[in-house]
Structures are given as structure tokens and as C-alpha cells.
Structure 1
Amino acid sequence: MIGKIHSIETMGLVDGPGVRLIVFFQGCSLRCSFCHNPDTWGVNEGNSISSEELIKNILRYKTYFKASGGGVTFSGGEPLLQPDFLIEMLRLCKVNGIHTAIDTAGCGLGRYDEILKYTDLVIFDVKHVKPEGYKEITRNKIHESLRFLNEIQKHKNKMWIRQVIIPGVNDNIEYIESLADFINKLDNVTKVELLPYHLLGVSKYEALGKKYALDGVPAMDKDKNKKLEEHLYSLIK
């Protein structure tokens, strides 16, 4: 089976437990204002790779996975946009005793039941908890994301929650409290992170000749981000 990937990162330490290999899938239907990887948007771009070639690459790192409790994280772009390839890779990892995670915004093409059957951890990227805010940030509706969340709850997969905090957009107590309400309705959440908005992807827009939606917005103050995170933790049940 052939899939489209953007790149592969080895020895990752933040996208799931332990030492991980991260496979960045090509293609994303969202156009998040804070996205720092616009080069992953195009579904027909990127590099073609077979499932056989990719699993051989993954197996080279199995010793590191075992020693650290790590594994493979399928990220993007949006891995759910290539469901057939994703399912095959998840299945091959499980056959070989490798821990699997997907880093996703939950906006895919279905087949969620089969995807989640082979997924040990879902790293879920919250864009906004309200429909109007979600639409403003992503240029898409929130419905598919919520549908995927419901499927996670049915399968009882472990979850990490991530939310980017942007100055002037969601860096306030009111939003943090609504985010806490959102998280408290979910089961099996084992980790929550507020990620401070940064400017590292701006140069990519310039190189691609694309307009940057948050032009002029400063990077998120890390001290304020930490205080908001502490407040969020105090509200999570």
C-alpha cells in the first residue's frame, strides 16, 4: 500500500511516551491561523512511500522503543485523511509489538472504528471548544472533530489533550474555563498541555508565497502561558 508522507523524525521525545519515531503524513483539510507547517497542506504533494518500506524503517528503532517505553506517532498534516494507509501502518506496528499513537485534530474521512482499534494513544489537538471560534481559527466546522471525539470515547483510548494558546485569541481565563469544561466531559485523558504560540513557521509562508493569518501577533509569553496552564490544571477533575 502506498501513502503520502511529508517527513520522518527519529528519536522524538514529546509526541507520546518514551523515545518515538514520528511520521508526518501529507495533507490537511484545516487551515489553522497558527499552523507552522503549511507545507503539509497539499494532499497530493509530499513523498510517496510503501507500507512495506515504512515498517522496515520503523523496525530499525524497535530496540529504542522497548528500552524507553516508546513507539511510533503518526502525525501530520492530518493522518486521518489517509485512512487506508494509516490503518495498515497501525496494524503492522501492532503485529510487531510497537506502541502506536496518532496526533490529530480529528478531521478525517471516517473508518474511525478500525483506526482506533489499533491505536494505543490519541494526542488530540483542540483548535477551539466553541463552533464559532473553531470556524474562525480553522476555516472549517467543528462537527467532524466532535464526531471523532465521540468515537474515541466509545473505544476508551487513552488521550492527551493539546491546545495552542494565542495572544489576543484565547489567552484569557474565560477560555481556559471553557476548555476545562470541555476536557472534564472526556474520559481517559492522562495529560493536558497548553502550547505557547510561536513564530517559527512564519518564514515558511514567505517561502511559499502564502499570506500569514496572524501577521503581527507576538509569540505567547511563556510565563503567562504557564499561569494559564496551572489555572487549567486546578479546574480539571
Structure 2
Amino acid sequence: MTTGRLHSFDISTGVDGPGTRFVAFLAGCPLRCQYCHSPDTWYRRSGRPTTVDDLMTEIRRYERFIKVAGGGVTLSGGEPLQQPDFVREVFARCRQLKLHTALDTSGFLGDRADDELLDATDLVLLDIKSGDPATYRQVTRTGRLAPTVRFARRLAERGTPMWIRFVLVPGLTDDPANVAAVAGIVAELPSVQRVEVLPFHRLGAAKYAAMGLTFPLADTAAPGPGLLDRVRGQFRDRGLVVC
């Protein structure tokens, strides 16, 4: 039985895939995004060893509820593709229960997702952090844009539904050319169902303080309505459905 590292789980509605979701947050992430609101999930050691059976026992407790609510199971993080064997087995078991599955990922480790894992994935929530490689590096501090784009194109070729997520940070990701580059990438992916422009917030600042870390964007304000409208308009101008 495969064992993963589980940080926590929660029940959410409308933000981690369709309907009401059982969301499991796996521990470990290779990126260090400046706007990350969950630094407590960065390291594998922050999660507790959990077998697939352990997690499925928790999921089964909510099975009837999430089915009635038109939801399913989302694996998030951290970065779930740091633990692809665990993800594959959990999703395969969820499929046996006829539970909708969603993978919340940056795509940076997309090459680790084999066809069997993706065959058991109904939806990918793909976080495209930037359309410009230099900005992507600045945002993530450790990552490269190319693996995410490669993964996105692979998903599109397979016909895997995607919801694209883009975090709008004033002074970091809001440059019109950067947004246009993200929109250009997404417009070429026919299986994208929607784009979510997510306004930056500082709700995770307390976690940084508790861990003795400096929050890189402590002095950055949330984007105003005008900026949000402009950025959402750039995506709509490419024929994309924007939320």
C-alpha cells in the first residue's frame, strides 16, 4: 500500500472544483512563490504519513454528502505531483466510487504524471503563474515556465478539462505584456473550460510570522477593481470564459 504525506484536509464549495469537495492538501512543494499563503506545506516532513486506505477512509465518511452536492475529491498542496504514486492510487480508488477527481497543481512537475494518473483525473486546476519566463522565475524563486506549458499542452492533447488559475499581484504579475502572454498560452488550449483571475491577498502572513519567516509581499496591496477588470478583460478578449 502506497504511503503519502498528508498535511491536512478540508471540505470546500465552489473554489477547488465543481460542487462541494473533499480537499486533501499534500505536503511538499518545489516552488517558493512570493504570494504563497501556505508556507506550512512546503516540506514533506510537515505532513503525516498516510496510506491510501487511510485517506480513503476519510473520504468515505463524506462520500454521500459530496455526491449529493455534485462534488468530488481534489488533491492539492503543496504540490501533489511530488507524490504521483499516491495521487494515482487515490484517484483510481475515487473513480471506483464514481467520485469526480480534480488535481490542483502548478504543472511544474507535470512530467511526473503518467498516463494512468491522468486517466483517473477528471479535471486539472492548473496554476499558470506567469506568461513571461523571467517573471515566472521572479514569482516562484525556484521554477521555470516551460514545464507548466508543456504539461498544459499535453493535457489539451488528451482532452483533459482544465480550469486555469492566475494570481494577480500588483507590481509582480500585473504587467499587461505578462498577462497577454498568459492569455496567449491559454487561448491555444482547447480543453480549458474557464480562467480564474485570483486577486492577491495577505491572509497567509500570520503563518510566515509563526514560522519565523518574512512574508515577501507584506507591503503589497490587493488589486483594485479597475486592475481586476483590465486583467479579466485581457483574457476575455482572447475568447476565454473568465471567473
> TM-score w.r.t. structure 2 length?
0.91
Deviations along 1:194-230, whole A, 9 cap, x unmatched?
A: 0000010111111111122223111222453134213
Partner AA of 1:6 in structure 2: H
Partner AA of 1:40 in structure 2: T
Mapping 1:1-237, distance limit 5 Å: 1-108=2-109, 110-139=112-141, 140-236=143-239
Asked whether the 8 Å contact 1:183–1:236 carries over to 2, the reply is: no
Asked whether the 8 Å contact 1:34–1:197 carries over to 2, the reply is: yes
Within 1, Cα distance between the matches of 2:12 and 2:184?
34
Unaligned runs of 5+ in 1: none
Asked whether the 8 Å contact 2:135–2:173 carries over to 1, the reply is: no
Displacement of 1:118 in angstroms is: 0.5
The alpha-carbon distance between structure 1 residues 14 and 150, as it changes in their structure 2 partners (threshold 3 A), is same
3-state DSSP of counterpart to 1:44:
helix
Displacement of 1:50 in angstroms is: 1.3
Partner AA of 1:125 in structure 2: D
Partner AA of 2:193 in structure 1: T
Within 2, Cα distance between the matches of 1:222 and 1:115?
39
Displacement of 1:192 in angstroms is: 0.7
Within 2, Cα distance between the matches of 1:24 and 1:173?
32
The number of equivalent residue pairs is 237
3-state DSSP of counterpart to 2:125:
strand
3-state DSSP of counterpart to 1:61:
helix
Unaligned runs of 5+ in 2: none
Task: Single out whichever of 195-204 and 39-48 deviates more from structure 2.
Answer: 39-48
